[in-house]
Amino acid sequence: NGLLPFSQYSVVVSPVDGLPSKIYVGTYGALPSEIPSLSTRSPTRTNTSLTVYWEPTIVCSSHLTGYNYQLLKESDAMKVLDSGFTRNTTASFHNLTASTQFIVRVFVVTIAGWNPQAYFSINTSTSATVPEAVRDLTVYKRGRNMLGLRWATPKATYGKLKSFTVTHSLGKDVISHTLELTPCVVWPNLFCNTIDNLKPNRRYNISVSARNVDVAEDGVAAFVDGLTKEASPSAPVNLRLINSSSTSVGLKWDQPDLANGIIRSFLVSVEETEKFDQDSCCQVYPLMEIPVSEEKVSYEVEVSGLHPASTYFVSVSAKTVGLGPSQSWVVMTRPPPLPFTVLPLSYLPDIRNEKDEYISLDKELWNPQEQQSDLNNSNVYTSLVKAHLLLCELESDYQTSQNESCIADPKLDSLFRNLVGDNFCFYAEYDKDQYVEESDWGSLDCCVPDNQKCRLLAAQITEYSGSYNVDLRYYKEWITLYTL
């Protein structure tokens, strides 16, 4: 035991009274434990390739046949990107990413095999390079003396971006300027630049290139042509309803993708197409013009003077020297505030009390209905009343969890939260004769905390084409409710 691997030994046996006998024996080779050593020659680097070097290895454990090598990214040393075998003391790798740290592992290979645990590591990196071309370069606005540009960052920057170079040319006149990394006002994830002092009705050649902090030169340029002449804009985008009442709607929209000029205003068209009170349909509403003094991410308008429980077709167009196409939306106004048709019964069942006792309610203690001056006393809208609910407004120091009002419809729940805040919950549905045992409007199971003081709210629910309105009456006294 204890002999060296891959070695020859002379064994001599000598008898006491005779001649000695000698034989030669050899041990088998073993997996190598030797590793290469660093070459005095530094790695050869470009922005897309690497060549590494190492010194020849003296191996005593077996017969050397060559070297295995592996390429790994320093940020993910578990994943082998490239591998191979060579009899030389060099390895090359191509089609790599610029400005990236790599690790090259080199293993000794003998006739006995190779040892994955014994390797020499070479830390190196590809050299820096210029960024790729910017993406989606567009002339999004134009005037007699200006062009507005928009673009996205390059897909690969090969380092932290430092600046952009914008160049415009007309014939032999070429002008360049450097632009800091300032995002667009309208599109915060993009970059914009306005080129001024141009000649009218001329077609300019424009290029934009990016520069990073590692290389003192611009990257690949992206090109676009731009004509200094205004045209009609594209349609506004993302038109949406942000609020509504029985007589008004709030609208919001974003800047057109292509202004094609200087946006001076937006035109808002509102046409009534349907009304619950068919006898008085349909309203003629004048065009609204919203002036624009500066570029913004979005624009808003409140359209008032509308009919309750009505459907309107709304269109918004942008205007430069001409009127562009519109984006449209169908909106509904809410039902009008209505006088209460049914107040809660004179008792409130204490559903936890096993003796079927009741909490008495005094009708004189119900506060007058809110929005008295806005009440619509017409019988036309009475059929829009869908339900009467009893809610509990909890004390301010009690915090209900999100979505624990137990109101079934999310739109109705959101409306309640706007009207009474977040500290409320569903208690019961009622009609003129009784409390409804199982309501489709809400559930009591998860809401009212045990032995919790609350203030009752009677809520009359009206609905037109999915748009709710709520009439409220508060009970003057705070009471304690018990739940299951």
pLDDT tens per residue across span 268-303: 999 999 999 888 888 888 999 999 999 999 999 999
Q: What's the start-to-end Cα distance of the chain, in Å?
A: 83
Mean of pLDDT values over 322-346: 93
Mean of pLDDT values over 75-101: 92
Pairing label, strands 90-93, 50-55? antiparallel
Chain position carrying tokens 């009343």? 385
CA 45, CA 93: separation in Å to the nearest integer? 10
Mean pLDDT, the chain, as a whole number? 89
Q: What percent of the chain has pLDDT over 90?
A: 61
Which has the closest alpha carbon to 464: 345, 354, 381, 408?
Answer: 381
CA 149, CA 184: separation in Å to the nearest integer? 10
pLDDT tens per residue across span 15-32: 888 888 888 888 887 888
Give the H or E element holding residue 240.
strand 237-244
Matching CATH topology for 37-125 and 135-227?
yes
Per-residue pLDDT at 480? 76
Per-residue pLDDT at 360? 83
Q: For domain 135-227, is the CATH number 3.20.20.70?
A: no
More confident residue, 85 or 4: 85
CATH dotted code for 37-125: 2.60.40.10
**Cβ proximity of 366 and 473 under 8 Å:** yes
CA 188, CA 207: separation in Å to the nearest integer? 21
More confident residue, 207 or 377: 207
Mean of pLDDT values over 181-187: 93
DSSP per-residue string spanning 245-256: -SS-EEEEEE--
Residue 404: is its pLDDT beyond 80? no
**Cβ proximity of 31 and 60 under 8 Å:** no
Q: What confidence category does residue 169 fall into, taking pLDDT thresholds of 50, 70 and 90?
A: very high
Provide the greatest CA pair distance for the chain.
140
CA 230, CA 444: separation in Å to the nearest integer? 62
Per-residue pLDDT at 258? 97
More confident residue, 461 or 364: 461
Residue 484: is its pLDDT beyond 50? no
Task: Indicate the CATH number of 237-332 among 2.60.40.10, 3.40.220.10, 2.40.160.40, 3.30.1370.110.
Answer: 2.60.40.10
Three-state DSSP at 377 gives: coil
CA 274, CA 34: separation in Å to the nearest integer? 88
Segments making up each domain of the chain, as ranges: 37-125, 135-227, 237-332, 347-481
Residue 399: is its pLDDT beyond 60? no
Per-residue pLDDT at 56? 92
Per-residue pLDDT at 371? 65
Per-residue pLDDT at 180? 93
